[in-house]
Amino acid sequence: MDPLPLFLLLLPFFATLSSAADTISANNSLPGSQTITSAGGNFVLGFFKLGNSSSRYYVGIWYKKVSKITPVWVANRETPVADQSTSELRIAGDGNLVLLNQSKSIVWSTDANISSNSTLAVLLDDGNLQLRDESNESQVFWQSFDHPTNTWLPGSKVGLNKVTNRNQHLTAWKNDDDPAPGIFSLELDPNGTSQYFILWNMTTEYWTSGIWNGQIFSNVPEMTANYVYNFEYVSNSTENYFIYTVKDNTIISRFVMDVSGQIKQLTWLENSQTWILFWSQPRQQCQVYSFCGSFGSCNENALPFCKCVQGFSPKSQSDWDLGDQSEGCQRNTPLQCGRSNSSRTEKDGFLTMSNMRLPVNSRTLSAVGSDGACEAACLSDCSCTAYSYGSGGCSVWHGDLLNLQEQFNGSDASTLYLRLAASELQSSKSNKGTVIWIVVGVAVAVLTCLAIIWFMIRRRRKRQMMRASKAVGGGLVAFRYGELQHATKNFSHKLGGGGFGSVFRGSLPDSTVVAVKKLEGILQGEKQFRTEVSTIGTIQHVNLVRLLGFCSEGSNKLLVYEFMPKGSLDTQLFQSNSAALDWRTRYQIAVGIARGLAYLHEQCRDCIIHCDIKPENILLDDSCVPKVADFGLAKLVGRDFSRVLTTMRGTRGYLAPEWITGVAITPKADVYSYGMMLFEIVSGRRNLEQTEDGTTGFFPTLVASKLKSGDVGSLLDHRLEGEADLEEMERACKLACWCIQDDESCRPTMGQVGQVLEGFLEVNMPPIPRSLRVLAETPEEINFFYEFSSNQSSKTRSATSNSTQTKSTASNSSGV
């Protein structure tokens, strides 16, 4: 028998068993081995434990339908119990719900004032646990929604009670294995405005949502494109709060104050059994205040983001391993200062750290007028730990350094001089002079000889390799890791990064310039990897980047591609210093990408969904022919793709809604991303950063309104000064609107997109996608395209296409 029907048979049976068990009453406590389930089967309350440590149990609420236990609320955050089986959750004599440990001591209580001699606790279907009067449902003494931990569930509120002046906080966990309150929290402005703040250590605010304008928070313009949630703000004399709901209640979604110091909205993706990141703020990890702790340094371009500065190590390595750096780092060697010891006269020195975001809480020494004097001033003060001398004069720091960031290229990047004990600095300077130089000289000579020998051996091996490797499918070359290390000068010239790994420039022995992609997160076995790669190798099209070879040695998985001298489309479109692409070129780029994708979707042996279409993944060759990069990689990462997706930063704007709603992904997801990109090709700016009249808005919304008013000309990249074919522009805008329809069956196929752009298919006025409907309340009927017979000249396109359209068969074929 098929297991599925059997499972369905059992389901109602379980449902009847558990239907009564959503309450804890005076006579009916909850022992550690049991759980209760809400009436509709959405949430479970019970004991759980985290990580591998077997001796910490918590009482919490989690999703019944999510296979990975995901607590949304924890009772005893700071007071775990050691043994689950002998602990219990029960109604105490005073009517409160309490947690008793092994020795029957109370370790957690609802601590409410109870004016009833009989209470019970009920777990509701929205995840709320209520303690209420047994005979009167509306007499609620306590509820978990009023005491959120790190999660804000749909239907609950996070706000400010103006009567008691109590401000609710969402407080991050300490780390992924410990729900105790961490250092980051979210609160509504205690002063009474409608903005949220994220705080470090309950004191330092490092992010604000901006004021609510009725539809969006001013610093979160991407909310305009929100098709998933309803937000409501309530402000009256007793309270201020926000409440949100999910429009489609089959979507499982949660909002968390994450251990990373970012707020995140996550959605459960049943297909791949993972939580997908829908949105997060602040966007960059290093914008989180003091994320790496004292003497820790954050680097946006590295993983992990945090490391201790030179001469320091983590105070608690185990916490760092769990992603909690709040304790920061400690000095390896104490400073010499203040411990004058005549037998040792080595002085402290300074380590030069350039391109730094300077730490907070500096003191300015206004009387000091030179770099040297600044150094001397710091050296003479034993509590001084660093100095910096710049246009603002001499700044010094005392005590811990917080909020350091390296490889920082904001306008206020500076050089910091960090004070270290002399022994920590030995590498940088040496006054032992000649002896050292002789040693260095000899070493260099020996190394040079070795290098030459090694190089020759390598070369011979390489030739052998090249000959041997022709056997691999798709004409791909199988490289050795060392060869690629050499070709890329040990991965020194980074071209870019992405969801799948970083890309480096390299040069092969025959001086072919290549782009080498170092893949991350590939868990596939050797054989499967080779199979997938040779499949990718066989896919060749003028609008797809050509794979030349690969390397697979243990965990080192690399792909070698042809090098594209003009780089990616985003640099051409968005960087103000590059000359703007003219309209002809842009249109040809749009056509080329459509052809490349249509080939992937429709003409390959296996349909390939790209999954990550965005300007960063479109490369341009010398003559601006676009080539789609990174195709096939989603498949390579396989089931783990959603994990990669969650780590992709900055691509949310291109994600089709079905990624969030969790239905199966089809090639139409690429069509959506293509549409989003097409808007950007027209406007030369990011969809989210459009400013019309100085306001931040969402470009597709603007397009929809301009299409209605017939003024598409104003949408063009202003750098082109109106130099464009208006008919083509209108076609591109309409097409882009069709591509971003919420309902994937309304989107054209990639083949149709190409035909429209090339003028073989005419396009109707698009309906405004539901997500952009805010501005037009007119109901839209959905008509698609009508086809020009291919022998008809494309010149006969009628300018009055709007009035002469007929429905076409395209509508059927576009519903996959």
Residue numbering of the annotated binding site for ATP: 518
Cβ neighbours of 301 (radius 10 Å): 11
Is residue 25 at the binding interface for ligand NAG, with CB under 6 A as the rule? Answer: yes
Which residue lies nearer to ligand NAG by CB, 336 or 752? 336
Task: Print the binding letters for residues 344-383 with ligand NAG: x by CB under 6 A, - otherwise.
Answer: x---------------------------------------
Task: Print the binding letters for residues 176-195 with ligand NAG: x by CB under 6 A, - otherwise.
Answer: ---------------x----
H helix or E strand, kind and range, residue 590: helix 583-598
- 194-220 burial code (b ≥16 CB/10 A, e <16): bebbbbbeeeeebbbbbebeeebbbbb
- Phi, psi (5° rounding) for residue 328? 75, -155
Residues in 603-642 that interact with ligand NAG by CB under 6 A: none
Which residue lies nearer to ligand NAG by CB, 95 or 754? 95
Instruction: Tell me how far, at minimum, the Cβ of 500 lies from ligand NAG, in Å.
Output: 17
H helix or E strand, kind and range, residue 811: helix 810-813
Q: Cβ contacts of residue 541 below 8 Å, gap of 6+?
A: 595, 596, 599
- Residue in the block written with tokens 């790190």: 150
Is residue 576 at the binding interface for ligand NAG, with CB under 6 A as the rule? Answer: no
Instruction: Tell me how far, at minimum, the Cβ of 107 lies from ligand NAG, in Å.
Output: 5
Is residue 94 at the binding interface for ligand NAG, with CB under 6 A as the rule? Answer: no
For the CA atoms of 668, 669, 670, 671, the dihedral, rounded to the nearest 10 degrees, stands at 50
Task: Print the binding letters for residues 105-144 with ligand NAG: x by CB under 6 A, - otherwise.
Answer: x-x-----x---xx-----------------x-xx-----
Cβ neighbours of 492 (radius 10 Å): 9
Out of 34, 201, 352, 531, which residue is the one contacting ligand NAG (CB under 6 A)? 201
Is residue 239 at the binding interface for ligand NAG, with CB under 6 A as the rule? Answer: yes
Q: Cα dihedral sign for 546, 549, 555, 556?
A: negative
Out of 8, 15, 211, 234, which residue is the one contacting ligand NAG (CB under 6 A)? 234
Which residue lies nearer to ligand NAG by CB, 118 or 230? 118
Is residue 343 at the binding interface for ligand NAG, with CB under 6 A as the rule? Answer: yes
Cβ atoms of residues 59 and 45 within 8 Å: yes
- The three-class DSSP label of residue 730 is helix
Task: Print the binding letters for residues 790-809 with ligand NAG: x by CB under 6 A, - otherwise.
Answer: --------------------
The 3-class secondary structure across 403-446, one letter per residue, is CEECCCCCCCCEEEEEEECHHHHCCCCCCCCHHHHHHHHHHHHH
Which residue lies nearer to ligand NAG by CB, 41 or 567? 567
Is residue 326 at the binding interface for ligand NAG, with CB under 6 A as the rule? Answer: yes
Strands 35-37 and 43-49 come out as: antiparallel
Tell me which stretch binds ligand NAG (CB under 6 A): 88-96, 258-266, 338-346, 681-689. 338-346
Identity at 760, one-letter amino acid code: F
Which residue lies nearer to ligand NAG by CB, 23 or 507? 23
The question of whether 94 is a catalytic residue gets the answer no
Residues in 405-464 that interact with ligand NAG by CB under 6 A: 409
Which residue lies nearer to ligand NAG by CB, 299 or 552? 299
Instruction: Tell me how far, at minimum, the Cβ of 743 lies from ligand NAG, in Å.
Output: 34
Which residues are 230's β-sheet partners?
245
Which residue lies nearer to ligand NAG by CB, 341 or 789? 341
- Phi, psi (5° rounding) for residue 614? -165, 160
Strand arrangement of the beta sheet that strand 414-420 belongs to: 349-356, 414-420, 384-390, 393-398, 363-365
The distance in angstroms from the start CA to the end CA of the chain is 31
- The three-class DSSP label of residue 338 is coil
Out of 2, 163, 165, 237, which residue is the one contacting ligand NAG (CB under 6 A)? 237
Residues in 31-90 that interact with ligand NAG by CB under 6 A: 51-52, 82
Active-site choice (612, 630, 670, 742): 612
Residue 13 to residue 339: CA distance in whole angstroms: 76
Q: With CB under 6 A, what is the number of residues at the site for ligand NAG?
A: 31
Is residue 318 at the binding interface for ligand NAG, with CB under 6 A as the rule? Answer: no
Task: Print the binding letters for residues 287-306 with ligand NAG: x by CB under 6 A, - otherwise.
Answer: -------------xx-----
Cβ atoms of residues 372 and 425 within 8 Å: no
- Phi, psi (5° rounding) for residue 559? -120, 140
Number of H helices, E strands in the chain: 17, 46
Cβ atoms of residues 484 and 507 within 8 Å: no
H helix or E strand, kind and range, residue 571: helix 569-574
Tell me which stretch binds ligand NAG (CB under 6 A): 32-40, 124-132, 230-238, 255-263. 230-238
Peptide bond just before 221 cis, omega within 30 deg: no
Is residue 271 at the binding interface for ligand NAG, with CB under 6 A as the rule? Answer: no
Look up residue 385 and give its two tokens: 């730990």
Out of 16, 27, 380, 431, which residue is the one contacting ligand NAG (CB under 6 A)? 27
Instruction: Tell me how far, at minimum, the Cβ of 385 lies from ligand NAG, in Å.
Output: 15
Tell me which stretch binds ligand NAG (CB under 6 A): 102-110, 305-313, 382-390, 550-558. 102-110
Tell me which stretch binds ligand NAG (CB under 6 A): 339-347, 575-583, 623-631, 668-676. 339-347
Which residue lies nearer to ligand NAG by CB, 237 or 709? 237
Is residue 403 at the binding interface for ligand NAG, with CB under 6 A as the rule? Answer: no
Kindly list the catalytic residues: 612
Instruction: Name the site residues for ligand NAG (rule: CB under 6 A).
Output: 25, 27, 51-52, 82, 101-103, 105, 107, 113, 117-118, 136, 138-139, 191, 201, 234, 236-239, 300-301, 326, 339, 341, 343-344, 409
